[in-house]
Amino acid sequence: MYVGHFAIGMALKARYPDVPTPPILLGVVFLDILAGIFIVLGWNQVTPNLQALPYLYFDLTFIDWDHSLLAAIFWSIIWAVCFIKHKRVAIIAGIASFSHFLADWPMHNNDLALFPHSDYHLGMGLWNQFGIGSWVLEGIFSTVLLIYAFSLFRKRGIDLT
């Protein structure tokens, strides 16, 4: 799920045009940037699995330091604090970052812990259930958000096409 995260970012940018783009568009993928770094550092663990759908081909065995609920809240606050000079920017940046977790929730295959090392995991498993079909869902979700964003921009006389 990348298109979906960026679509949320576009909708946020359209809704709050005065907020600079980087805090929003980097914010929506901040948790995944951290996940990549933490995999390299060996803090996260992923396991190859050719059956893992729809495109990862590995299981996210341990991603608790960036993709648990508590970690998502923590990192979203940290991301917001980066922009604390402008309170409004900080709040929208934090929302953008936390939106990542909320968007991952329905898709992920029960690999989102409540907190690091928690036995309880979230994730409604749409990836697993629908496989490639989950792309269609993400596409519909993204299209709706992008139509919303484009219509808001057009109302302000900005044509993005």
Rounded-to-integer distance, Cα 47 and Cα 7, Å: 29
Give the number of other Cβ atoms within 10 Å of residue 21's Cβ: 13
Q: Nearest distance from residue 87's CB to Zn ion, in Å?
A: 27
Omega of the bond leading into 54 within 30 degrees of 0 (cis) = yes
Q: Nearest distance from residue 71's CB to Zn ion, in Å?
A: 11
Which stretch, 85-93, 104-112, 121-129, 135-143, contacts Zn ion (CB under 5 A)?
A: 104-112
Rounded-to-integer distance, Cα 49 and Cα 130, Å: 17
Q: Nearest distance from residue 5's CB to Zn ion, in Å?
A: 7
Q: Nearest distance from residue 116's CB to Zn ion, in Å?
A: 16
104 vs 111, which CB is nearer to Zn ion?
Answer: 104
Which x/- pattern over 30-49 shows residues binding Zn ion (rule: CB under 5 A)?
Answer: --x-----------------
Q: In 16-112, which ranges are continuous DSSP H helix?
A: 21-25, 30-41, 64-67, 69-81, 87-107
Specify the DSSP class assigned to residue 122: E
- Sign of the alpha-carbon dihedral angle for 142, 145, 151, 157: negative
Consecutive H or E run containing 62: strand 58-62
Which stretch, 19-27, 52-60, 97-105, 135-143, contacts Zn ion (CB under 5 A)?
A: 97-105
Q: Which of 28, 90, 104, 141 binds Zn ion (CB under 5 A)?
A: 104
Rg (CA), the chain: 16
Which stretch, 14-22, 96-104, 138-146, 153-161, contacts Zn ion (CB under 5 A)?
A: 96-104
Which stretch, 27-35, 44-52, 70-78, 150-158, contacts Zn ion (CB under 5 A)?
A: 27-35
14 vs 34, which CB is nearer to Zn ion?
Answer: 34
Residues of this chain that interact with Zn ion (CB under 5 A) are 32, 104
